[in-house]
Amino acid sequence: MPSTSQIIYQPYLAGSRGALKAGTAVACRSAEDGLRRAERALENGSILGARIVRMTHDDDAGEFGDPEYLGEVGRVPDVD
C-alpha cells in the first residue's frame, strides 16, 4: 500500500505556569480548512495558537515521515 498524507490542525492551549500544551489534533480536508479553523478558534479565545501540519504515513512499514509545517497562528512552541 502506498504512503498516505493527512493535514492536521494542532491547537495549543494554556498549560501550567504559562507554558503551552498540545490540545486534541484534528484531521482537516486541506491546509486552508485547517487555517480557517485555527483563526476562528484563536479569535474566540479557545486556543492560544495552532499549527497546521501535513503528515505522511507509510502503512506497510508503519512509519511516519517528517512533518511538513504548512502554517501557524498565535503562540506555538518552537520546532526543534
State yes or no: pLDDT of 73 exceeds 80. yes
What pLDDT, in 10s, does the model give residues 18-72?
899 999 999 999 999 999 999 999 999 999 999 999 999 887 777 888 899 999 9
What is the predicted pLDDT for the residue at 1?
A: 58
pLDDT in tens, 60-69: 777 888 899 9
The domain locations on the chain are: 13-54
Output the pTM of the full model.
Answer: 0.84
Look-up of cell digits 479565545: 45
Alpha-carbon distance 23 to 28, whole Å? 15
Mean pLDDT to the nearest integer, 2-16: 91
| Cβ(9)–Cβ(37) below 8 Å | yes
